[in-house]
């Protein structure tokens, strides 16, 4: 039904808020992976007036079910380079820039850890990674660097229980798995 009148239509990135009240989804009617976020109240079936345009389609909810973090791309290169914070009911033009990747060889995206306790900004280039973390129940907080980028150091993190799990190629030709407490 939403595709009517468009020569191209793609929907993706369905994210349900932690309280199961809202569903966020992305639509692309251009075909360049330039999406618009729509938010549906799942109790009433109504779309909220919060429409966030010019986004990558990558988003995550904070624990409060009122805050969304999402990424935007450079309009020419389509490189995902900025992460914003949106509060339901506010104007998207006032969304807060929480991170900007200035190195043109890196792109960035968001995800939540398996524990849902942390939001992670992953910054990635061909041979180097960096992660920034934020407690998902502190959406107004500041993302902190997990491990600073080091040329040719690739790593991925996740959080389960009370520990971080790190897959890293540092001093490990075929990667190694490590763990660390969250403190």
Residue 123's nearest CA partner among 92, 140, 102 is 102
Residue 67's nearest CA partner among 26, 15, 107, 11 is 15
Give the pLDDT confidence of 47-103 residue by residue, as tens digits. 999 999 999 999 999 999 999 999 999 988 899 999 999 999 999 999 999 999 999
DSSP single-letter state for residue 93: G
Q: Answer whether residue 111 shows pLDDT above 90.
A: yes
pLDDT band at 13 (very low <50, low <70, confident <90, very high): confident
What the block records as the tokens of 90 is: 């506010």
Check residue 99 and give its pLDDT: 98
Q: Over pLDDT 70: what percentage of the chain?
A: 100
Check residue 2 and give its pLDDT: 85
Q: Are 41 and 76 in contact (CB under 8 A)?
A: no
What the block records as the tokens of 51 is: 């429409």
Distance of alpha carbon 16 from its chain centroid, rounded? Answer: 14
Q: Answer whether residue 31 shows pLDDT above 90.
A: no
Check residue 113 and give its pLDDT: 98
Provide the 3-class DSSP secondary structure of residue 92: helix
Contacts of 12 (CB under 8 A, 6+ apart): 25, 26, 28, 35, 57
What the block records as the tokens of 95 is: 């969304």
What the block records as the tokens of 139 is: 């959406």
Q: Answer whether residue 3 shows pLDDT above 90.
A: no
What the block records as the tokens of 133 is: 């973390």
* Rounded CA separation 77/41 (Å): 34
Give the pLDDT confidence of 158-172 residue by residue, as tens digits. 999 999 999 999 999
* Rounded CA separation 85/139 (Å): 8
């Amino acid at each position: 039904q939403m595709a009517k009148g468009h020569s191209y239509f793609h929907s993706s990135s369905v994210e349900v808020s932690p309280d199961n009240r809202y569903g966020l989804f992305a639509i692309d009617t251009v075909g360049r992976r330039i999406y618009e976020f729509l938010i549906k109240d799942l109790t009433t079936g109504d779309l909220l007036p919060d429409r966030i345009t010019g986004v990558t389609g990558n988003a995550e909810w904070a624990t409060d079910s009122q805050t969304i973090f999402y990424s935007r791309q450079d309009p020419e290169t389509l490189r995902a380079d900025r992460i914003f914070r949106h509060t339901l009911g506010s104007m998207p033009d006032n969304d807060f820039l929480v991170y900007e990747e200035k190195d043109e060889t890196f792109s960035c995206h968001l995800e939540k850890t398996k524990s849902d306790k942390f939001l992670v900004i992953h910054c990635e280039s061909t041979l180097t990674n960096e992660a920034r973390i934020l407690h998902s129940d502190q959406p107004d907080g500041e993302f902190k660097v997990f491990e600073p980028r080091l040329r040719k150091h690739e790593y991925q993190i996740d959080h389960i229980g009370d520990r971080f799990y790190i897959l890293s190629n540092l001093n490990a030709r075929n990667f190694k798995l490590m763990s660390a407490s969250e403190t």
